[in-house]
């Protein structure tokens, strides 16, 4: 399912949705496009807030949209920023919750993929649901 054409679709979707960002503080628009194992694409943008901790990143927006519609397994996520910036730690942890093998495509605003990796490579030693097994 994840071939070159689909990768391009994900990057172009993430690039296109950046028009919907709400970034009055950072002026750093981020778009994301998440491919579920069912084949559906969920998009997301970053949404800032004057109380900075309430801000949500594009990656988490896309993942939470997908999860809220019953998806739990993901194939890939494309993240587009002005300069090919990498997902933050919180986004990496949320991605890890749903699969270390998920492919991560990081692209700049020209649509050029500057890094193709996996969640596992982005977050080595991730804290996973299995870490909670048997704890009280």
Known active-site residue 59: yes
Per-run averaged pLDDT (10 residues), the chain, 136 residues = 96 98 98 98 98 96 98 98 97 97 98 98 95 74
Catalytic residue among 5, 8, 48, 59: 59
**How many domains are there within the chain?**
1
- Global pTM? 0.95
pLDDT at 119: 98
Q: CATH code at 19?
A: 3.40.140.10
Q: Which domain holds residue 22?
A: 4-132
Written as six digits, the tokens of 9 are 């679709």
Rounded to a whole number of angstroms, the CA Rg of the chain reads: 14
Whole-number Å distance between alpha carbons of 46 and 22? 7
| Strands 74-80 vs 103-107: parallel, antiparallel or unpaired | parallel
CB count within 10 Å of CB 84 equals 16
The token pair that represents 89 in the structure block = 């730690």
């Amino acid at each position: 399912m994840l071939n070159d054409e689909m990768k391009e679709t994900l990057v172009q979707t993430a690039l296109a949705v950046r028009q919907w960002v709400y970034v009055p503080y950072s002026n750093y628009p981020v778009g994301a496009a998440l491919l579920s194992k069912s084949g559906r694409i969920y998009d997301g943008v970053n949404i800032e807030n004057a109380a900075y901790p309430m801000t949500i990143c594009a990656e988490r927006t896309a993942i939470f949209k997908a999860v809220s519609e019953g998806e739990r397994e993901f194939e890939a996520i494309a993240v587009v920023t002005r300069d090919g910036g990498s997902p933050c730690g919180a986004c990496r942890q949320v991605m890890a919750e749903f699969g270390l093998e998920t492919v991560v495509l990081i692209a700049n605003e020209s649509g050029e993929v500057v890094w193709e990796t996996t969640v596992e490579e982005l977050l080595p030693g991730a804290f996973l649901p299995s870490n909670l097994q048997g704890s009280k």
